[in-house]
Amino acid sequence: MLLLLLFLVAVLLPPRARAGEIIWGWEAGRHYRPYMAYVKIETGGDGEGGCRRLLIREDMMVTAGHCNCNLGNITVLLGADNVKIDELGKQEIWVCRQILHPEFNDKTDENDLMLLQLRHKAKMTQAVGTIPLSQEMVKKGAVCSVAGWGQTSIKTNAQPSPTLQEVELTVMGKRMCLSRPYLHYVPSRMLCVGKPQERKWPFLGDSGGPLVCDGKAQGIVSHGSGDGSTPSVFTRLSKYVCWIKKTLRKRKP
């Protein structure tokens, strides 16, 4: 399944919106995040890939469940810093299977998780690599980061960034997300993430992108507010490590 033209999957839908922006971020260093993947969907029309994936095995990626689609053939672009130009080290691989979490709820975004199996193994290089999944609960106050190629502005006509952007975020206490009625937040399965209260900058992470803390993936961007204000909700990966490992064993490379 896969190939060419790009399609915008993540759109702003108030009051609870799919995440699709990297606001107040900065350009990531060259090959600084070799686990990041840019999705390309063959739809017969123009567009930009809105959901991100992270490579956890040479042939397997993790993303958000709400990125599940049957819009066309899918490829992932690995080793890309700028998706608009030719770069040495880029690898484009077809996706052969989408494995949605069996209890994903597209109305509440519970269990917002999906695996993508690649048709063949990616070649591990300086530009392409995997990231480990954390099995430990991340603590409140931890400073983590999110990266992606999403919009860098909340303006409706803003264009996605061609270069990989990143932003630092803080893991917040559960009360902050529970106090936002527009968010569906389940503390045991989700993380509440945002900017510190004294820095009320807007933010929406790139859908399906990883929340990375101390070099490990702790969360997957799920949903947030329609205006880009914090906090945002992330799928808590430590809750799903057993399911992911079980699925990987079944889908040997």
Residues noted as catalytic: 66, 112, 207
Type of residue found at 170: T
Structure tokens at 170: 């803080």
- The DSSP code for 34 is T
Structure tokens at 150: 């999403």
Distance between CA atoms of residues 111 and 239, nearest Å: 9
Cα-Cα-Cα-Cα torsion 21, 24, 30, 33, nearest 10 degrees, comes to -60
Distance between CA atoms of residues 181 and 225, nearest Å: 10
64: CB partners within 8 A, 6+ apart: 51, 112, 113, 114, 207, 208, 220, 221, 222, 235
Q: Is 53 helix (H, G, I), strand (E, B) or coil?
A: strand
Could you tell me the CA-to-CA distances from 111 to 2, 92, 233 in Å, in that order?
25, 28, 12
